[in-house]
């Protein structure tokens, strides 16, 4: 069975906590280590983090540049 979700609903947060750079960077590094990917240098990671903040990635409504359309995970 195919599951379809709205992107806005998928990104909607129940918690409005915006992680600090250190929280985000530590979590990001742990994920990258787990998947065997190269870890970003702190300077590069800070640029990515700032872009995520600007895009509204951590906002309650999710990123502002994502269109609300159904997506399929399967």
Decide: helix, strand or coil at residue 39.
Answer: coil
Position 56 scores a pLDDT of 83
Mean pLDDT (10-residue bins), the chain, 74 residues? 48 67 94 93 94 84 56 47
**Domain boundary assignment for the chain:** 4-72
Q: What is the phi-psi region of residue 58: left when phi exceeds 0, alpha when psi lies from -120 to 50, beta otherwise?
A: alpha
Q: Decide: pTM greater than 0.75.
A: no
Q: Between helices 42-55 and 21-34, what is the axis angle to 10°?
A: 110
| CA–CA distances in Å: residue 34 to residues 21, 23, 40, 42, 52 | 20, 17, 14, 18, 22
């Amino acid at each position: 069975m195919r599951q379809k979700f709205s992107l806005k609903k998928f990104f909607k947060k129940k918690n409005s906590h915006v992680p600090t750079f250190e929280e985000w960077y530590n979590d990001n590094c742990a994920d990258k280590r787990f998947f065997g990917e190269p870890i970003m240098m702190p300077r590069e990671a800070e640029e990515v983090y700032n872009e995520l903040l600007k895009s509204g990635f951590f906002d309650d409504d999710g990123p502002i540049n994502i269109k609300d359309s159904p997506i399929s995970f399967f």
